């Protein structure tokens, strides 16, 4: 269900990750979109599978090179403050 709610660029990031030099900016955008989508679906009582952080962690694992957990936490932290 997630895939149908997110834009093509987000689906591409979830599938392939991102290369070094673009990982943080792309990760921030993806985290923001995942959290926003989750909030929208929850507010409208629409069931969905996979928590936003699980999907974000999948993105981090697929990046080249893989994002370290501390770097991933930092990227995830800022969009979560806004939403």
Question: CA 51, 43, 45, 12: dihedral to nearest 10 degrees?
Answer: -40
Q: Is the pLDDT of residue 4 over 60?
A: no
Query: How many domains does the chain fold into?
Result: 1
82 lies in some domain: no
18 lies in some domain: yes
- Residue 58 structure tokens: 């999948």
pLDDT band at 82 (very low <50, low <70, confident <90, very high): low
Domain, as residue range, for 45: 8-77
CA separation for the pair 6, 34 (Å, rounded): 8
Q: Are 39 and 48 in contact (CB under 8 A)?
A: no
83 lies in some domain: no
2 lies in some domain: no
pLDDT in tens, 53-80: 999 999 999 999 999 999 999 999 988 7
1 lies in some domain: no
3 lies in some domain: no
């Amino acid at each position: 269900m997630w895939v149908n709610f997110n834009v093509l660029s987000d689906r591409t990031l979830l599938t392939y990750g991102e290369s070094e030099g673009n990982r943080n900016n792309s990760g921030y955008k993806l985290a923001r979109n995942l959290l926003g989508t989750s909030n929208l679906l929850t507010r409208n009582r629409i069931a969905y599978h996979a928590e936003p952080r699980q999907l974000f962690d999948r993105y981090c694992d697929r990046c080249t090179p893989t994002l370290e957990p501390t770097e991933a936490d930092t990227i995830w932290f800022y969009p979560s403050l806004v939403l």
